[in-house]
Structure 1
């Protein structure tokens, strides 16, 4: 690095011209840079979503999620294996090493799940295996608030707002989260 300092001291105009050339090259290259909120990339994550209508979260955990986790755990190249069990839903999240081919990993997960399908409860919906897609990430989140009850706000969002947004061109899916759908509660005095 001593030679660089020596050139800058002996020939300051030459050093200034090199710096100016780098600045001009940077300014010229700046508009050519591609900017994308979600760059095109394949993340090594696979989701296995299963619906078990009417089942409590403990039942989903013991009868569906645990079976799927045990089957998927045999697939090679897994970095992390997580699961979420809720009422009527099971989600198994499989993260693979970066060196693993994601398309082959998805196929291996499908094969592992198909080997235990006959052990799962008969009234479940078939497990859906998907790789993480950055293009399918939500690009907008809306919140509905007001002086109404949560069930009224849910009804308004589900019947009015959701339909308007779904009919807009380019909209793939609209999800309503955070509130419960209407239900009937019956209290019996014995």
Structure 2
């Protein structure tokens, strides 16, 4: 007896099975996930390390091999493949299939710790390994913010305020800002004047770095109260940078030359950044 004959002779069972499969199929269909951007897990990370001036062979021996050796200590690792170029090392790792979204963050933390432990063994002149493990992020919306008459700094402030409001929306995991201008102050120095005064670029960098450093001023105990001492002098405006006195061994020699001229003009005997640049 074949299946067709059995279906005809057992009509009750055939009708019941047909209705059961139909109802079960409809119920399963309406229970299927219907996400516009469904979640998916990417189990790949990339470690990029720069080594300026090194050849491809030097990058492989001094950077790539050392990082790969450390990564192979991970039991979660499935595969490692790398590419060594002049001045650049790129290593990609795949994690085993049994590690899903709920366990991957811990795996990435272990990998970062492994690489952090061996950073001191990298050669001088090499950059810090950059780890990228967020390939799975999907941006669903792109919003543009514009405003006539507003500066770039004001637009950035409004964009950050908008980001704070959007981050509390259910389902939002990450918000990135694109097109943000970096805050920079340029100092244009007259090369001829600087050369005559014997001031180098390192003198200017050292002066700026030492002035804007944050140090602990300590505390003052008065009876039953303790007051914190907060040193001043940090940069608050471009004018504060212009008024900064340059610290250099050459400045002490130059000050003797400028002393008579500055006295006659009623100015102080210090050489400021505004005297040599704009």
Output the TM-score relative to the length of structure 2. 0.40
Highest Rg: 1 or 2?
2
Number of residue pairs aligned between Structure 1 and Structure 2: 140
**Aligned CA distance change for structure 1 residues 14 and 74 (closer, same or farther; 3 Å):** closer
Aligned equivalent of 1:23: 22
**Aligned CA distance change for structure 1 residues 33 and 102 (closer, same or farther; 3 Å):** same
Aligned equivalent of 1:126: 128
Aligned equivalent of 2:112: 110
Aligned equivalent of 2:80: 81
Superposed displacement of residue 93, structure 1? 1.9
Task: Note the residue ranges of structure 1 that are not aligned, 5 or more in a row.
Answer: 138-169, 174-190
Q: Bigger CA drift: 84-93 or 51-60?
A: 51-60
SS state at 1:134 partner: coil
RMSD: 3.5
**Aligned CA distance change for structure 1 residues 37 and 67 (closer, same or farther; 3 Å):** farther
SS state at 1:133 partner: coil
Q: Bigger CA drift: 66-75 or 84-93?
A: 84-93
Superposed displacement of residue 68, structure 1? 0.7
Superposed displacement of residue 90, structure 1? 1.6
SS state at 2:137 partner: helix
Task: Note the residue ranges of structure 2 that are not aligned, 5 or more in a row.
Answer: 140-174, 179-278
Output the TM-score relative to the length of structure 1. 0.55
Superposed displacement of residue 15, structure 1? 1.1
CA contact (8 A) 1:47 1:129 kept: yes
Which protein has greater RCO, CA pairs closer than 8 Å, 6+ apart?
1
